Amino acid sequence: MAEPLACSAGKAGPTLSVDAARLRAVAVAAPVAETEILPLDLACGRVLAGPVVAASALPPFDNSAMDGYALRLSDLAGAGPWELPVTRRIAAGDRASGPPDPGTAVRIFTGAPIPAGADAVVMQENVTRSGDRITLTARPRSGQNIRRRGEDLARGAQALAAGVGLTPPRLALLAGCGVPQVAVRRRVRVAILSTGDELAEPGRLLAPGQIYNSNRVMLRATLARLPWAETTDLGILRDDPQAIRAAIRQAALTHDVVISSGGVSAGEADHILDALRAEAAELDVLKVAIRPGKPLTVGRLGGALYFGLPGNPYAAAITFAQIARPALRKVAGLTEAPDAWLPAVAGFTYHRTTGRREYVPVTWASRDTLGRPVLERLGHGASASLSPIACAMGIAVIPPDLSVIHPGQPLQVEVLGE
């Protein structure tokens, strides 16, 4: 279990930097303990529960890296050119065979076992062949074009560490060293819910005062891309304290993480905080110096990690990505932190209020002489706006203290994936 946070629900705590808030959220998260065994075919994106060692050496035997001719360097007497008869042929899948007959070369193909005693393979492009004889002019290096047994990974060596996410190349590595299945952590069970009397799902007619629910599909789709998470969608909860309390209590019993959006401001209809307090949540009302994104609630509700994201969609998206997702990754058991930002430069002028780290949707059509994207800013920073983030190629990060950004100002940009 993670350290419980000092209960500060509803109290005005100090304002935290984004990095400090992220560390706090990660500190309250605890990895799921249960594991399951999966065949490699079903394991992409899942998180290794323990280290995996190579069941077989990779490659399992010395083999040829090229189509060509295997020979013994000691058969190349004096200065070249040398002429050798070709007496045997070994293809991929053939068994290993005895040494070349003295003074001969062996026709060999990529992946075929190196005959005992041969110490180089000459590419077929580097010899002249005439009938059953080859002529070569340059002396090969010892070991040339030979892939040695275990040079990629020795048998019994650690192939992958615990806590890594299984990418296609990692699955290929495990397959290559003879591992058919892996122990992975079970998926993180995440419940999502939207709050607000004003919310309606698209497809229905809007009653006066209603807006369509953007956060539900955004969170659901974001989580659907995380192969180590499974989501329960609890839909829209009305601004009714009793209903909210019952729903979050139930969700926390059966999920590792509960994520709500809306209802965490100080307004009278913002019942999430009251409901969490009534359920004796260990709660941190995080006042984060982030734009967009205030306010944000993080804590533990029973055995579950709780995130109360802001209702405004852009703010919900940013706080999820910057604060909640790193904590979710820890719950999943992941030990690697992705680092996907690029150096970029502003192509715009922006006068701003200092004090909060700001996440600005950007696009770019050109790069400067150093290859850095020249960023164009989208939108006006409204936390309810969806068009800018929908069109953005990335999110630029503006440091809290910068009061004006001029063209050429170096900035970090996080590239948005597919």
The footprint of ligand AMP (CB under 6 A) covers 194, 196, 198-199, 211, 213-216, 261-265, 267, 270, 310-313
Minimum CB distance to Mg ion smaller for 115 or for 263: 263
All residues at 6 or more sequence positions from 380 whose CB lies less than 8 Å from its CB, including other chains:
none
Closest CA to 298 of 258, 245, 238: 258
Decide if 298 contacts 20 (C-beta within 8 A).
no
CA distance 418 to 225: 10
Closest CA to 257 of 348, 347, 208, 190: 190
Picked from Mg ion, ligand AMP, none, the partner binding residue 215 (CB below 5 to 8 A depending on kind) is ligand AMP
Decide if 276 contacts 9 (C-beta within 8 A).
yes
165 binds Mg ion (CB under 5 A): no
Structure-block tokens of residue 387: 């068009």
CA distance 178 to 194: 46
All residues at 6 or more sequence positions from 416 whose CB lies less than 8 Å from its CB, including other chains:
392, 393, 394, 395
196 binds Mg ion (CB under 5 A): yes
262 binds Mg ion (CB under 5 A): yes
Decide if 410 contacts 370 (C-beta within 8 A).
no
Picked from Mg ion, ligand AMP, none, the partner binding residue 13 (CB below 5 to 8 A depending on kind) is none
Structure-block tokens of residue 390: 């929908």
Minimum CB distance to ligand AMP smaller for 26 or for 237: 237
Minimum CB distance to Mg ion smaller for 104 or for 260: 260
Minimum separation from the CB atom of position 192 to ligand AMP (A): 10
Instruction: Work out the angle at residue 392's Cα, subtended by the Cα atoms of residues 168 and 367, and round it to the nearest 5 degrees.
Output: 85
Number of residues that bind Mg ion (CB under 5 A): 4
Minimum separation from the CB atom of position 194 to Mg ion (A): 9
Q: Minimal CB distance to ligand AMP: which residue?
A: 311
Minimum separation from the CB atom of position 150 to ligand AMP (A): 55
310 binds Mg ion (CB under 5 A): no
- Among 260-268, 328-336, 381-389, 408-416, which window interacts with Mg ion (CB under 5 A)? 260-268
Minimum separation from the CB atom of position 17 to ligand AMP (A): 22
Footprint on this chain of Mg ion (rule: CB under 5 A): 196, 262-263, 311
